[in-house]
Amino acid sequence: MRSVMNVVAVLALSTWMLGAVESRAGVTGTTTYEIFQNGSRVGSERLTWTEADGGQVTLEGECVLEVGGVSTTLRPSLTIDAATLSPTRYARETELGDRLDQLEALFDGGKAVYSVKENGSSSKRSIKMKPAELVVDSHVMSLLTLVADRYDFEKGGEQDLTVFDTEGGKAHSAHAMIRGMGTFENAAGSWRLKRLTVKLENVSVDLLVDDAGRVPLISVPLLNMEARLANYAGNNKAEAGGK
């Protein structure tokens, strides 16, 4: 399934909100992204931030994809340290008919323990790596929005991130850079927003970021994929023009 299932042989976690509710790390909130491929809607991602005692923030939700008449339900869960935004745990259940696959990655400094249960078999291994700064999952596009939290917009230029990719359970470097401005349009209006490009191993992903750090659009041009933030209505610092 070459939609979000291969959106990036490396993809994706998130700054989430619903409508005008911000969901930065440390703020409880829910967001919904509508997923499109070749201009047609193929699913949605609904995710919620919650903050627990001890400075841990958990993002969890449900993603539903319908491609080629086949419906797949994904239930991702990411826990990060609120102070550093570093991941401590990522898990995902994938439900396809009667089949249920699971994966989990536990992070401890320069080590990740990666467990997979898939199609009746299971595996577990330890991976040595630089401390992870971002988790990407080719099944969950909105995970990449955490890049907008980590990128230093005042500093600018190319900035590197250590990424743990759940596709195969490996680590690599991603490169993020502001590349001018982009336009986001919906029924509420049209906005000129900062375009933050993230170069992963096999693809580049564009994020449109407003002055509040929200990400109304995630785009993978190579695969003609988009995730559009539902009910986005801009903010008073963005340039907006109604239709």
Residue 162 within a domain:
yes
The per-residue pLDDT for 25 is 39
C-alpha–C-alpha distance, residues 50 and 60, integer Å: 8
Cα–Cα distances (Å) from 24 to 30, 39, 134, 135, in that order, read: 10, 29, 15, 17
Q: Which amino acid is at 166?
A: T
Inside any domain, residue 109: no
Q: Where are the beta strands (DSSP E) in the chain?
A: 29-37, 40-52, 56-67, 70-81, 87-96, 99-108, 111-118, 121-128, 134-136, 159-165, 170-186, 189-199, 204-209, 217-220, 225-229, 239-241
Q: What is the pTM of this model?
A: 0.84
- Give the H or E element holding residue 26: none
Domain extent at residue 29: 4-83+136-241
Q: With respect to residue 95, please indicate whether it lies within any of the assigned structural domains.
A: no
32 within 8 A of 230, measured Cβ to Cβ: yes
Q: Which of 40-49, 64-73, 97-106, 193-202 has the lowest mean pLDDT?
A: 64-73
Q: What percent of the chain has pLDDT over 70?
A: 85
**Is there a contact between 115 and 103 (Cβ–Cβ < 8 Å)?**
yes
Minimal CA–CA distance to 34: which of 136, 186, 165? 186
225 domain residue, yes or no: yes
Radius of gyration of the chain (CA): 17
Residue 177: inside a domain, yes or no? yes
- pLDDT value of residue 242: 45
Provide the domain count of the chain: 1
pLDDT value at 20 more than 60: no
Residue 160 vs residue 51, higher pLDDT: 160
Arithmetic mean of pLDDT, 149-177: 94
CB 31 within 8 A of CB 46: yes
Q: Pick from 53, 61, 1, 73: which is nearest to 29 by CA?
A: 61
**78 in a structural domain:** yes
Find, among 178, 138, 136, the residue nearest to 156 by Cα: 178
On whether residue 234 sits in a domain, the answer given is yes
Are 2 and 11 in contact by the 8 Å Cβ rule? The answer is no
Position 28 scores a pLDDT of 64
In a domain, 24, yes or no: yes
